[in-house]
Amino acid sequence: MYNRFLEILKLSKSGLNDEEIGRTLHMNNVRKYLAGTKKSFLTVLRAEHERLGPPSVGHRWLPLRLKPRGTPDGEWIQVPARISGMGNIDSVIDQTEPIENAYAKMSEFGFKSKGEVVDEKIPLFGFLVGATIGDAGKHPKGESRFQSKSLSLVLSKRKPNSYRFGQFTSLCAQVSLGLEMHRISDAPISKSRYSDSECFRWISPASPLVGWLFRNCLGLNEDELTTYHPLRMEWLVETPPPFKIGVLQGVSESDGWVDAGNDTVCFVSSPNTPLFSSVLRSLGLEHRIDRHEIVEEIRVPTEEANRLPIFNPRIRSVYLDQLEVMSRAKRFPERKRLPDDVIQSIRELSMRFQTLSKVCLELARTRGIKVSSQTVRKYIS
């Protein structure tokens, strides 16, 4: 467009009027360009550079929002070219402001004041990072001069946690990045989707800041996907516990569950098993890695997982409820026969529930007793 602007100036100096220039270059708005009310991208960029000045060493200027054709829309922040530690994250989050819509949802998640919401910007950003690793879609937008992405969530209505998880993730985006992520119309049943039910949907506008999150925080290239390519986030291990816990909660609410029959919280960890294992070790949590043919899973004992907790208390998902039930229940001494009334409860529950894990969970909930799937199988076979 800058070359086109130079052509406009050249033709104007040659004596052509606005209409003649428009016909020659097959364009409208010639008068606006000549009057300065409409500017080319490079003209805008040069003016912004002069206004902002050079960025700090190791940083670059990034516009928070773009106009439809990719021109910066006023507000800029400095972002680090690479992430080496928590200070880099703090420097970005400190420059963003929550959008006003965020506060309308705060009571839904137990926040009592705007100040309390702002005080949790860093853990909320951690959760957003974890959700981005997990369920959130990351979509490149157009051929923008600033690499931009939007965030989206498509969550099955069949799962009881979907709505609150989606609402909380959008709150995290609104508070930590000032990003207008909002719920849109539900998706109908579709055979082309993983779920055979209607789905809740949330989406954000395309933003260079989401592009920065994908490239610099997650460490991924444009042609890489979180499902298949390992993250380059070694810096995460050395960050403060509140941020690491936020990331783990975002991942666990996306891809985790409670396996009552195994007395563990489990989440899909591949292709990032070494990274997540290092983060758990840094928090002092025991865990084990289960390797299957296609995926790897990390399992954390329920008592250990409840110390964080590994599911977010503000969402209050069924997973957190199950985790609390299992972490409170007591296990019988090994190799000691169960009392007859407990055995009878196991047999009755096995008639009500289809899976061994659900029998174990209900036994822990109603009797405060922790038994394994293997034990249940022994008494009902």
Question: What is the pLDDT at residue 194?
Answer: 65
The answer on pLDDT for 42 being more than 60 is: no
Assess whether pLDDT exceeds 70 at residue 83: yes
Please tell me the distance from the alpha carbon of residue 252 to that of residue 265, in angstroms, as a whole number: 9
Task: Give pLDDT, residue 41.
Answer: 55
26 pLDDT above the threshold of 70: yes
What number is the average pLDDT over the span 143-149?
A: 67
Residue 110 in tokens: 């137990």
Q: What share of the chain is helix, strand, coil (3-state, %, to 5)?
A: 45, 15, 35
In the chain, which residue ranges form alpha helices assigned H by DSSP?
2-13, 18-25, 30-35, 41-52, 86-93, 114-119, 121-133, 162-176, 208-212, 241-255, 273-282, 302-307, 318-328, 340-352, 356-367, 373-380
Tell whether the model's pLDDT for residue 39 goes beyond 60: no
What number is the average pLDDT over the span 263-270? Answer: 97
- Decide if pLDDT at 347 tops 50: yes
**Looking at residue 8, what is its pLDDT?**
67
Q: Residue 176: what pLDDT?
A: 96
Q: Quick check: 350 pLDDT over 80? A: yes
Would you state the pLDDT for residue 55?
Answer: 86
Contact 71, 38 (CB under 8 A): no
Higher local confidence (pLDDT), 108 or 5: 108
- Residues 7, 16: contact at Cβ < 8 Å? no
**How many C-beta neighbours within 10 Å does residue 96 have?**
18
Which has the higher per-residue pLDDT, 46 or 230?
A: 230
- pLDDT at residue 69 greater than cutoff 90: no
| Mean pLDDT of the residues in the chain | 88
Q: Which range, of 75-79, 195-199, 249-253, 261-265, averages the lowest pLDDT?
A: 195-199
- Rounded to an integer, the average pLDDT of 343-348 is 94
CA angle 146, 210, 276 (to 5 degrees): 135
Provide the pLDDT for residue 14: 86
Q: How, if at all, do strands 296-301 and 264-268 pair?
A: antiparallel
The predicted pLDDT at position 137 comes to: 63
Single pTM value for the model: 0.85
Residue 265 has pLDDT above 70, yes or no: yes
* pLDDT reported for residue 12: 78
User: What does the pLDDT read at residue 255?
Assistant: 92
How much is the average pLDDT of 28-53?
62
pLDDT above 50 (res 143): no
Write the Ramachandran bin of 152: left for phi over 0, alpha for psi from -120 to 50, otherwise beta. beta
CA distances from 334 to 27, 94, 303, 330, 331 (A): 82, 53, 18, 12, 8
Q: For residue range 91-130, list pLDDT tens digits in order.
A: 999 999 999 889 998 999 999 999 999 999 999 999 999 9
Q: pLDDT for 154-210, tens place per residue? A: 999 999 999 999 999 999 999 999 999 999 999 998 776 666 789 999 999 888 999
Q: Look at 71-80, 212-221, 241-250 and tell me which has the smallest mean pLDDT.
A: 71-80
pLDDT digits (tens, 9 = 90+) for 227-253: 899 999 999 999 999 999 999 999 999
